[in-house]
Amino acid sequence: MSLPVSPLQLGLIIAGVLLVVGVIIYNWWLERRVRRKIEATFRKPVDGPVGGSGSAQRLEPTLRKPSDAPPEATAAYRSPAEVPPSAFETPMEVIEHDDAVTEVADEPATAPAGAMAHSVETEATGGRKPDPEIECIVTLQPARPVAVGAFAAGLHARLGKRLRWFGRTSPDAPWQALATDSRGEFVELAACLLLADRNGAASRAQLDTFMRVMGDLAPHLPAAMSVPDVGAEADRAEVLDRLCADVDVQVGLTVVINAGGGVPGTKLRGVAEAAGFRLAAGGRFEWLNEDTGAVQYSLQNLRNEPFTIDTLRLSATNGVVLVLDVPRVSDPSRTFDQMKLAAKRLALNLGGDVVDDNRRVLDDAALAGIRKQVEAAASALRESGIEPGSPRALALFGA
């Protein structure tokens, strides 16, 4: 026999339901608001100064929504070690971000308060200005000009994300990237913490630590400090990370050796070096741009083993994978064409075939289809405000 529900109990039930619904609606509204701010900023680049030396207006990141990216742009290469030989998949698939935060080596930090429009980085500047669209920026205005040695502790802070410093020698001077050996005295400083990379978004704890380091540094200069809201920056970091994940694409072409015993490592090294590759740290060969020295694509072992001088001398492999990291090259389509030719030459010289992940030989029509995917991925990056191979892309799509 059920007991009647009292008015008080009924009221509590209704209040609980309304509370849950209210929380869901609020979270939806907050995320939608952040996304709109992000889109508005990337679509309206700012060129002129806004506010004075101590102003702290907020510039939000401006990547477009994941739904705006074409479906083809959600593909990326998977490491050969993750794919069983009997269950190969397509050469492209989504890159998943690692939740673990890895600490980065000390780098010169740079960046004005996240609210300073005159410090917006353009792609043409080569990353020599703060980028409020992808960085959390704190500005310091010393009571008198200071040299780099006065804030060396902040310059070398380890925060788990890239930290850059910039300085001005006068209020109207351009920003100058700062390092330990930078000369001169500066009337304004900007510390910039990257909001997201391939290891994920900057965490609330990292942002809190960043603000605390800056807060401890300011009184020692002494300097006035302009800081953004930590909660808003944490939200920006999460949204930026999700949007970047949608356009993070790598492409792989597999060369499988037909000989039963594979190819000796010594022969592979000779063929690879003759084709212009060089053995690099990390257990892979790299093909570099002759003019810039930037990595265009890499050559990795099909087996779950890195290439080293010793392993190449003592062992053999049954195949290799050529990998193109689309966001990190300036002309992805042209670079894919170069990598395709390199794959065909390697297959010819090593006695193998260029195949897909189902071990089917890739003919010219199939390769043309992959090239279209590369073009779509590059277009998605540009539509998101990220020029492939630019300083912004190298920062967002670095480890």
| Structure confidence at residue 189 (pLDDT) | 97
| Structure confidence at residue 19 (pLDDT) | 72
* Mean pLDDT, the chain, integer: 79
pLDDT > 70? residue 225: yes
Q: Walk me through the domains of the chain, giving residue ranges and CATH numbers.
A: 99-245 (3.30.1400), 248-383 (3.30.1400.10)
Q: What burial class does residue 369 get, using C-beta atoms within 10 Å of its C-beta: 0-12 exposed, 13-18 middle, 19+ buried? A: exposed
Query: Can you tell me the distance from the alpha carbon of 240 to that of 196, in angstroms, rounded to the nearest whole number?
Result: 7
Of residues 110 and 34, more confidently modeled: 34
Q: Which tens digits make up the pLDDT trace of 256-306?
A: 999 888 999 999 999 999 999 999 988 999 999 988 899 999 999 999 899
| Structure confidence at residue 26 (pLDDT) | 64
Of residues 262 and 70, more confidently modeled: 262
Q: Which tens digits make up the pLDDT trace of 52-67?
A: 333 333 222 233 333 3
- Tell me what percent of the residues of the chain surpass a pLDDT of 70: 72
pLDDT > 50? residue 129: yes
Cβ-proximal residues to 193 (8 Å cutoff; 6+ apart), any chain: 109, 111, 135, 136, 137, 159, 161, 162, 163, 202, 206, 207, 210
pTM (two decimals): 0.69
| Structure confidence at residue 304 (pLDDT) | 87
pLDDT > 70? residue 333: yes
Q: What average pLDDT does this structure show over 334-343?
A: 97
| Structure confidence at residue 86 (pLDDT) | 32
| Structure confidence at residue 201 (pLDDT) | 97
Q: What average pLDDT does this structure show over 376-382?
A: 96
pLDDT > 60? residue 344: yes
Of residues 157 and 76, more confidently modeled: 157
Query: Can you tell me the distance from the alpha carbon of 251 to that of 343, in angstroms, rounded to the nearest whole number?
Result: 13
Q: Which tens digits make up the pLDDT trace of 76-123?
A: 333 333 333 333 233 443 334 343 333 333 333 333 333 323 333 333
Helix intervals (H) in the chain: 7-43, 152-155, 204-217, 230-246, 265-274, 309-314, 332-350, 364-383, 391-396
What does the DSSP assignment read for 8-51? HHHHHHHHHHHHHHHHHHHHHHHHHHHHHHHHHHHHS---S--S
Q: Which of 69-73, 244-248, 317-321, 389-393 has the lowest mean pLDDT?
A: 69-73
